Amino acid sequence: MKRLFIKKIAPVIFITCISSFAFAQSEILPFVNSITKQHLIQHVYTLASDSLEGRNTGKHGQRIAANYIANYFRKNGLDSLNLDGYFQRYTLLKYNYGNVGIMAKNTGKYADKVSYMGFFGTNLFTHEMNFRDTLHFKYLGYGKNYKNLNLKDTVAILLLDDNLGKTYNHVKNIAAHSQGKFFLIFFPKTGLFRYNPEKHPLAEINKNDRLKALTYKFKDPFLPKYYTKYRSYADSLQSFMQNNDTIVMAFANPWETGRLFKMKYKKLQKLEKKVAKGKASRNINLTNDTAICYIKTNKYKLDTLQTENVIGYIEGTDKKDEIIVVSAHYDHVGKRGKHIYFGADDNASGTAAIMEMARAFQKAEEKGIKPRRSLIFVAFSGEEMGLRGSDYFVDHCPVPLENVVLNLNLDMVGRNRENDDKYRQTAYVIANGKHRRFFKRKAKQAGRESDSVIISKHPGFRERTTWAFSSDHFRFKRKNIPIACFFTGLHPDYHTTRDTPDKINYAKLTELTRVGYKMLWEVANTKKKLKVKVKHQNKQNFIEKMMD
């Protein structure tokens, strides 16, 4: 009886919910339709243009992008929350360290070209060096028999243990007996995920810490609040680099062996074990026999980097003290040499979307149609450097952080997953925290009215895991603030020079932006109580330690 009643009444409830949703949306329809493909195309092509050079945080192109977004907010009448020109400025710190690059030179048919097969290292040099030359590769295995070697003008390739002190001292011994200077080291167990600072304190670095874990810490700029931690890393690693040391090391992961050897790492390792026992001879062919090695270093020092988030505000009505933060990061990874990483999907697409949503909400306000809750639209910088802009924002929120009831984040919302046409209409929403089912339901309802986009709550394990902590909503999640995130999935052009504006699916981007607007309108006007208790966590979990 009960089951039969539910079966009969469920369609009625569903139709009633859809009807009430459509009725609530009717007054904002003109503003939804004002979000056009032409506007989004203009934004994406501007943000991902050659002149912005990949919008790397702190670089000239990023500042041009920031001004473009701020001018758009100003032109369309958004409030600046008394910020200087819509900018929330902040400072990052960065260690200026030594860069080491070993590029393999092609042989045979392509001998006239230099491949982009590079291996890179991080050394905190205490001396200055500027070097570039063509050298030869020589494979030494575990480097046991080195006393009669001559490694002058040679890049020695080694398989070594990933214990920092043991490795460094072994390389120093080889160098002392062989005139060796340049070393390319493959580590068997390298990786950030093996490093646990609680089990392996910095005082015991010589015994325990992983070189890759330590060097990774200097890859990107960091906020001043992390200075004490980063300084201890720097001082510990630098203690291995003496003024009279001229050893240059670059590092490689096991899966990169195929780039230099005609065999996989496991086979190489098995062979070396047999060689060590005298059961085999080392007869290995390299895919390349020549290297171009370059080093340019200064004495390591701490530099500063200036950057900014861009913020626009629309005040609500009777629930104006409750605030929804709508975000997208506008930075990307910049240039590498002459090659520009345009970042059209990552994340000019999301930035364009929040710019258009902001404009549409402001146009509605001018007609007297305002949301009950207030909206902050923020374009973050520093995302590609470890979510730095959003980290700063949640610590220095221009409104009381306790009043933020939701962060809606958009990151990579303009492509088809895996470049597969079967995903041409698919976009994903994930949500976390209190009311997450409510937020996902509103996103799905908004998507049902669209002919060009289908909102899915099931992105699959890889996508769900990737977006769980690798975009700016993670910083809000850490504070116990509910989050929702739109994205369209990964593709082979991610973080390559091929992520260009011409590859964006603008029909999907337009409809997803409209869906985001409609979802925001529903959430901003709901009668549901959305307030949550913000938590300022002192203890970090594993993911948080890795991010910071």
According to the per-residue pLDDT averaged within each range, which of 1-10, 193-202, 312-321, 416-425 is highest? Answer: 312-321
Give the DSSP letter string of 240-265: T--TT---EEEEE-GGGGGGTBSS-H
Contact 57, 221 (CB under 8 A): yes
Q: What is the band of 250 on the pLDDT scale with cuts at 50, 70, 90?
A: confident
Range 354-380 average pLDDT: 98
- Rounded distance between C-alpha atoms, residue 482 and residue 404, angstroms: 9
Phi, psi of 287 (to 5 degrees): -70, -25
If one counts every other C-beta atom within 10 angstroms of the C-beta of residue 477, the result is 19
Nearest CA-CA partner of 390 in 398, 399, 382, 400 = 382
Average pLDDT over residues 484-513: 96
Confidence of residue 1 (pLDDT cuts 50, 70, 90): very low
Q: How far is the C-alpha of 275 from the C-alpha of 279, rounded, in Å?
A: 6
Q: Region 104-112: what's the mean pLDDT?
A: 52
CA distance 374 to 376: 7
User: What CATH class does 26-94+304-547 carry?
Assistant: alpha beta
Nearest CA to 43 out of 496, 261, 357 is that of 357
Whole-number Å distance between alpha carbons of 269 and 166: 19
**pLDDT: which is higher, 54 or 172:** 54
The answer, yes or no, to whether residue 414 has pLDDT greater than 80, is yes
Token pair, residue 251, equals 């590092």
* Mean residue pLDDT across the chain: 82
Average pLDDT estimate for 51-59: 98
Q: What percent of the chain has pLDDT over 70?
A: 74
Q: Which residues contact 448 (CB under 8 A, 6 or more apart)?
A: 18
Q: Kindly list the domain boundaries of the chain, sorted by start residue.
A: 26-94+304-547, 98-299
At 297, give phi and psi (nearest 5°). Answer: -135, 155
- Would you call 64 helix, strand, or coil by DSSP? helix
pTM of this prediction exceeds 0.75: yes
Show the CA angle centred on residue 255, arms to residues 253 and 261, nearest 5°.
100
Q: Using CA atoms, how far apart are residues 181 and 123, in angstroms rounded to an integer?
A: 14
